Structure 1
Amino acid sequence: MAKLLINTTILEELFKEHYNSLYYHAQSFLSNPEVAKDIVNDCFEEVWNKRNQLDISYSLKSFLYSMVRNRSLNYLKRQEVEKKYISRTLHSSGYGEDEYQDYDSVLDEIRKAIEELPPQGRSVFKKCFIENLSYKETAEELNISVNTVKTHVTNSLKKLRHDLDRDLLLFFLHVSKKK
């Protein structure tokens, strides 16, 4: 069977045809519609970014459904680890459990701080710490130098240190390296 070549037309057709069903597939695992949208969008983005390396000689639809399922399950696992880590961190730092009963609000604080980073810095930071790409892989994917990646990471960490409580930043960095 010949290797499927993915171009913009094919990807746009796949997006239009399967986005809603993939979104509902993600929603069947998750309770957060925004996270479900992000996961589906990230899957399409990854297919596009790796279109030359992917060997999808079978159904691209099946491949997308598997990606969405796996990312949804990984997200749920990370959430569970994050909640346990927050609980331990807050307990050891002297915060009362009643002060942080809503772990999702703590996670939202971290996400919000990341979203407030400058666009290029945010993109580099997410690739390095959320997608766990190396500096070299990030540089290649974004068509920038490794030194530029290092600069963006340094500047992003400085801003996050300023914007977030020390324990929250340490928590995020710890959890992101576990993935």
Structure 2
Amino acid sequence: MPTYQEFRQFCKNDHLGRAMLADPARAKVREAVMAGASDALARAAMRWRVGNAYYSFLREVYTVVELRFRGVELQVHPLADALFRVDCWTENTAVSLHVENAKYRNGPSQGRKIPTGRLLADLQPPIDFKDIALKPASVFGSVHLPVSAQLDDTAAALSRGR
């Protein structure tokens, strides 16, 4: 997997990277500046959002690989993530990974993001839900991953659910 810095270089130097990512991001920054934001603030906000999305992707891939390594058979699909906030699932359990944040998501009821369990509560037949909650990162510019104990506990819980 490329580092975030390598990913940024791809977006900057590769024709496809510019067309898919860098050019649309620059257009949104210009739009924010035209709406009154400072250029520095708009660029920093875009960098923050892109970095968060990239590190989130790395965190999800790492988690799935580690859980599979622990013997858990998992399924993954980008639409399950985008539409239902399900990062992966087993036969009857949806798994969601998130970093706790009081404004975004912190436990089952705090924050603006609806937890997966509430979002899919009426699903028939019903399924179980497993959250992997990470405390906020303490280092800027480094991917924030679940620790081995969290992955071990999650693998054990998912294996019991079979």
TM-score, length of structure 2 as denominator length: 0.38
Query: Going by fraction, where is strand more abundant, 1 or 2?
Result: 2
Query: Going by fraction, where is helix more abundant, 1 or 2?
Result: 1
